[in-house]
Structure 1
Amino acid sequence: MNLRSSWVAETGQTREDTRLTQIGATTPANPVQALSGVLPGSHDGRSRLAGFRLEGTAAMSATIHEGRAVIQGQTSQGFYPVTLTSSEVVTFAAGNAQYSRIDLVVLRIYDNLYDKSSNLNEAKIEIIEGTAGPTPKPPAVPALCLPLWKVTVVAGASAGNGGINWSTSVEDLRNSVVAIGGILPVEKTVQPGAYPGQYQDSGGALQRWDGGAWVPYPSALGGIVPSSASTLIASYTGQYRDTAGGQLQRWNGSAWVPAVPGPYFNDSLDSGYTVSTTYGTALTGRTTLLTLTFTAPASKAVILTFGSKITLVGTNLAGSGLMSLRITKGTEVYRDITTDDYAVVGSTSTAATGAVSTSTTQRLSNLTPGASYTLTPHYKTTNTSLKAHFDNCFIRVDPQA
């Protein structure tokens, strides 16, 4: 047989055997044991795990291609490196006449020093045959066995009637192993890490063992999750990611939100007027209510800018039109309209129609980070005989860093 092993045979181990099986692949399971598995790699670099690949080559036979692996024994036994230098053919027994069964293709170590039942000292590729039944299950795996493939042998399968369907009846059981400190390419079962700082490639993202779970690599270092892995679930509040659209986002504990929110902007190009001398939100001729809602940043401060084109219409009356903002946080009033000090004002001192574009910039501070604030414009005129028209109204909020 072409399967080579080290330190199993009582006599006859050659220097070639030793060279071929010095693998150095011991992904730790604990301080003294390694995980059993197959070394990754392929001839063309396109496959993560090509060792011990199964290829159906006849109705009831398959070829197991070359590869290297390690098989961990009991604590005192250590691990056994094995190497298959050229392919081997395995042949399955014909199927049961009535029921299907599940067979396992395994790498198996026979070490007579620990198991006297076989009187063997060698490594073998074997088929462990399952029991046929209405609901077949895989057979039990003996000690010092590394399962490679699970093969379903349907009822009546034989060389004379088509045999095994190699495209639908085979399941890959191989797991990979690498040397200590190497990045493990995960293929099947995800094993717990053996030490904080261990890395694995889950197929779509690099992960780090933090002592209790595998977490995305950027979160372990406090870095920014790249856009290529932006679908990953966040690991902690305060983690950042780069989205496919190039926007930096921060995990707030329940959702990804812009890391630097804003600017926020809303406007209305509909003209309306008021003849009320007290502040109100309604404008005759305007059908929609202009508002703006923003989320307060961590700095607790924003820059607020708002304005309007104010046109005053009257007969021999001078006066003003004013626009001011009422600011609320839910049902709580952050800033009410009790004074004209924060308003934008359009005035005329003539008896003719007057128009002016006006705006103001203010700083809002002592906001609650993460809270939503709503800005609602209110309008008034200084005289009921003077119509104050408001057009091109806008509100803009820029969070401060």
Structure 2
Amino acid sequence: MTIRTVWHAPTGQTPEDTRLATSALLTPVGALTSRGGVLPGGLELKGLGAFQCQIMPGRAVVQTGDRQGAYLVVVTEDETVTLAPSSPDGSRKDRIVLAIEDNPYDASGAARAVIKVIQGVTAVTGPQEPAAPPNTLPLFTVTVARNAGHIDWATAVENRRYPTAALGGIVPTGGFNGWYKGQYRDSGDRLERWTGGPNGVWETYPRPQAWRPWTPTWTVASGTNPVPGNWTHDCWYVQHGLTVHFTFRVVFGSTTNFQSSTTNWRFGLPVASTARHTHGIGFAELHHVAVPTPLPAKPSDRGVGRMRITGANWFEIELSSGLARGAAPGIGIIDAAFPWAWTNGDHIVGSGTYEAATSA
């Protein structure tokens, strides 16, 4: 039959039917194949004697041929494994594997899962791991040193297990392609999502937000709003969830009209805030360029301002330092005349962080 079900027909369900149908619950790597591997945390190795060890309980999936299916294996108690003694002719590498023996497919005369040792070839230098037979899942590679009276289980064992998970589960490893769009894996330091399609790739999830440019509005608390004119601005922001980071730089130009209002300047935020945590979202440098005319000439000056959110959609800048040239400017929010009479070329540079009203 080409269409199979399990626990459905009153008679005639075969082991192959069961394997193929229940593999629908496993992580797929093909139309009829599943990702083999060890369920995380299982089948650990523990040294037992000179050339003996134990494979501890755990669960695994051994994927065989497409039509033979995936075998679900459970080791319920410690399994003792014995390796051959060392040789005076050199060292070797032995593989410990979980093997499927199934007589209809391999003429083994058996129907079982078994933990086996695949003994490597002895070599004076550079012994190689033996190839793993079909229908096996690698567990460990053990180096048996030349003329050794025992195996140093703390240093001679190399882990060859690789993890798997149920369908939709997050596989805790990298180094393999996904099978369907929306599949996830934990590559060690980040969560990744498979994009799907023949040219699919793993992308960091959630996808990192890009920095975006924004143009701040410029208003006053009351009175006539300033006119930016030919000011230049270089302002960027990025939002992660409810957190917004931004940079702010404006340089006033020759046609900038500061107006005569001496009420607080307000600069628009890139996205609306909750208007909480408002007292200090960042700091800005205030730069006043030298004014050579009319006489008497005025030198350049600098100060530092604290950015404060005073409304959901804007921030104000409160002078929080003395001026570089030692003047005593007083305390207040910057405006057209404070901490100096602003002019062409003056600029403000700063950065801040605040809580957005809605998540990105």
TM-score range (shorter-chain normalised) is: 0.5 to 0.7
Q: How does 1:335-346 map to 2 (within 5 A)?
A: none
Q: 1:279 to 1:55 in 2, by over 3 A?
A: farther
- Does 2:206 correspond to 1:218? yes
Q: 1:176 to 1:309 in 2, by over 3 A?
A: closer
1:277 deviation in Å?
A: 4.4
Q: 1:264 to 1:239 in 2, by over 3 A?
A: closer
Are 1:131 and 1:137, in contact at CA under 8 Å, matched by a contact in 2?
A: yes
Structure 1 alignment gaps of length 5 or more: 1-17, 41-48, 225-237, 251-258, 284-288, 293-301, 312-342, 345-356, 363-374, 378-394
Which residue of 2 is the match for residue 164 of structure 1?
151
Which residue of 2 is the match for residue 181 of structure 1?
168
Whose RCO is larger (CA < 8 A, sep 6+)? 1
Q: 1:309 & 1:205 partners in 2: Cα distance? A: 46
- Does 2:340 correspond to 1:359? yes
2:65 to 52, 59, 74: 74
Tell me the secondary structure at the aligned position of residue 105 of structure 2.
coil
Are 1:310 and 1:358, in contact at CA under 8 Å, matched by a contact in 2?
A: no
For 2:81, give the aligned amino acid: V
Tell me the secondary structure at the aligned position of residue 30 of structure 1.
coil
1:190 to 167, 175, 185: 175
Are 2:285 and 2:303, in contact at CA under 8 Å, matched by a contact in 1?
A: no
For 2:152, give the aligned amino acid: N
Q: 1:275 to 1:25 in 2, by over 3 A?
A: closer
1:142 deviation in Å?
A: 0.7
- Does 2:164 correspond to 1:144? no
Are 1:305 and 1:397, in contact at CA under 8 Å, matched by a contact in 2?
A: no
Q: How does 1:231-246 map to 2 (within 5 A)?
A: 240-241=239-240
Which residue of 2 is the match for residue 112 of structure 1?
103
Considering only CA atoms, is the larger Rg found in Structure 1 or Structure 2?
1
Q: 1:151 to 1:172 in 2, by over 3 A?
A: same
Q: 1:124 to 1:399 in 2, by over 3 A?
A: closer
Are 2:291 and 2:298, in contact at CA under 8 Å, matched by a contact in 1?
A: no
For 2:157, give the aligned amino acid: V
1:207 deviation in Å?
A: 2.2
1:171 deviation in Å?
A: 1.2
Question: For the aligned residues, what is the CA RMSD?
Answer: 4.7
Q: TM-score, normalised by structure 2?
A: 0.57
> How many equivalent residue pairs?
256
1:75 deviation in Å?
A: 1.0
Are 1:112 and 1:119, in contact at CA under 8 Å, matched by a contact in 2?
A: yes
Tell me the secondary structure at the aligned position of residue 73 of structure 2.
strand
Q: 1:24 to 1:95 in 2, by over 3 A?
A: farther
Q: 1:265 to 1:55 in 2, by over 3 A?
A: same
1:210 deviation in Å?
A: 1.7
Post-superposition Cα deviations, 1:152-198, rounded to whole Å, max 9, x if no partner, equal 111112xxx3x111111111111222221122233xx5321111101
Q: TM-score, normalised by structure 1?
A: 0.52
Q: 2:190 & 2:303 partners in 1: Cα distance? A: 42
Are 1:219 and 1:239, in contact at CA under 8 Å, matched by a contact in 2?
A: no
1:279 deviation in Å?
A: 9.8
Tell me the secondary structure at the aligned position of residue 207 of structure 2.
helix
1:85 to 76, 85, 92: 76
Q: 2:145 & 2:181 partners in 1: Cα distance? A: 45
Q: 1:264 to 1:146 in 2, by over 3 A?
A: same
Which residue of 1 is the match for residue 114 of structure 2?
124
Post-superposition Cα deviations, 1:19-62, rounded to whole Å, max 9, x if no partner, equal xxx8985111112100111123xxxxxxxx1x111100111110
For 1:165, give the aligned amino acid: D
1:98 deviation in Å?
A: 3.6
More strand by share: 1
Q: 1:279 to 1:68 in 2, by over 3 A?
A: farther
1:399 deviation in Å?
A: 8.8
1:290 deviation in Å?
A: 5.7
Which residue of 2 is the match for residue 13 of structure 1?
none
Tell me the secondary structure at the aligned position of residue 219 of structure 1.
coil
1:96 deviation in Å?
A: 2.2
Q: 1:150 to 1:241 in 2, by over 3 A?
A: farther
Which residue of 2 is the match for residue 36 of structure 1?
36
Which residue of 2 is the match for residue 381 of structure 1?
none
- Does 2:84 correspond to 1:64? no
Q: 1:149 to 1:279 in 2, by over 3 A?
A: farther
Q: 1:216 & 1:309 partners in 2: Cα distance? A: 46
1:201 deviation in Å?
A: 2.5
1:123 deviation in Å?
A: 1.4
For 1:202, give the aligned amino acid: S
Structure 2 alignment gaps of length 5 or more: 1-17, 212-236, 247-269, 272-280, 305-314, 327-335
